[in-house]
Every structure is written in C-alpha cells, then in structure tokens.
A and B are shown apart, each in its own frame.
Chain A
Amino acid sequence: DAGVIQSPRHEVTEMGQEVTLRCKPISGHDYLFWYRQTMMRGLELLIYFNNNVPIDDSGMPEDRFSAKMPNASFSTLKIQPSEPRDSAVYFCASRHTPLNTEAFFGQGTRLTVV
C-alpha cells in the first residue's frame, strides 16, 4: 500500500480564495482524521470520520472550514474563504478500528495564504 496520500503537497493562495485539500486513506482503514499543525498550537484535530461519516467536527475552527468523505477512499478539506491565519501544515491520517492501532499520516499539505 502506498500509504495515506495527500495532495497538493504545497499550496500558496491569496486571501479570500477557496482552497481544497485532498486525501486518500489507506485501503481498509475505517477512520480518517484531518489535523492542522502550527508552531504555536502544535497538532490539532479538526475533524474525523468513521466509515465515511463525520463523527466529531468540534475542532473545525470556523464555518469557513468544511470536510467531506464521499466514499471510503477519498476525503476533502475545504477552506472558503481562506485567510492568512489558516497558513499551516494540514495532515490527513487513517487507521483501523482497534484502539491499540496507530494512525498513519500522509505527508501533509503546506498551506500558505498571502
């Protein structure tokens, strides 16, 4: 398996533009997580899905953020409109159901909003 695949790896956009981040989890994993990482706040959980259903989106900072998982092999995180404070590295991760299993992270998308 190629692991968790995210695209794009880098995104530079202007304030006010829509940004869409994409993730393909590891096949067979039934949990998918979206994280944001910054120097100031560390790793923050934004939202996670179980069997394609959003379970907890309490970490989503504002209504400008939305996430979908239309099927077991694809998820998107959208920011509309984007703001400079959204600049961060966004990670997608997936894992199996058992609680003692680790999450596997994608390589992340480095987002810069200017």
Chain B
Amino acid sequence: GQNIDQPTEMTATEGAIVQINCTYQTSGFNGLFWYQQHAGEAPTFLSYNVLDGLEEKGRFSSFLSRSKGYSYLLLKELQMKDSASYLCAVRDKESSNYQLIWGAGTKLIIKP
C-alpha cells in the first residue's frame, strides 16, 4: 500500500535549525516534493528530490534516501515567517498517471 508519515507538530526557536522528517511506503517511488502552507493560504512548492542526497536552496535543504524511504526538510536560521505547515508528497508510479500521495503535514511553530 501507500503511506506517508510526518510528525503532526513541531516547535522551534527563531534563529535555530529544525529538521522535519517524512517516511514513506510506496510500491513505485518516482520523486518527493516538499510544500509549505501558511494558515489560510495555498500550498507553495519548496523542493523536489528524485535521487538520493541533499538539495540545498537558500535556508532550506531537502534530503532523500530511497533505500530507507526517508526524507527530511532542513530549515536554517529560522524566522517567524517560517511558521507554517510543511507537506511531504510522494509521486508513485503505481498510482493513476503518477499522481502525488500527500502526507498530513507538519505544523511548525516558531517561538521568539
């Protein structure tokens, strides 16, 4: 079957670093996306990983290990505006036309 797990909620301090984990089980992995969603707004794209390793983009980095079915999103130098939900989504070749399977999201709370 298909399953994606993320922590429901995390808290971190402004200026610090936080790592949000995502584990998945799919029969035909074909890429992993991270999206950010502020309360009351639409999800917006952060990163895409299809090969193992780390993808860095400014303060945000995303890591993938296909053998472990594991990814994480690393946020550095946290700012108050980073308070949002972070959604992990996996593309599965076995799903209809390679559609995304979405995690429930991790709500990140940044404290001063």
Contacts and interface: CB of A to CB of B under 8 A. Distances in A.
Contacts, number: 45
Contacts of B97: 48, 50, 55-56
A56 B45 contact: no
A71 interface: no
A26 B97 CA distance: 20
Given A42-B103, A99-B31, A105 B98 contact: no
Contacts of A48: 97, 99
Contact of B42 (A55, A56, A91, A100): A91
A45 B100 CA distance: 9
Nearest to B49: A100
Contacts of A106: 42
Interface residues of B, number: 22
Interface string A83-99: 00000000100000001
A56 B98 CA distance: 11
Given A99-B98, A100-B48, A105 B43 contact: yes
Contact of B99 (A45, A100, A104, A107): A45
A14 interface: no
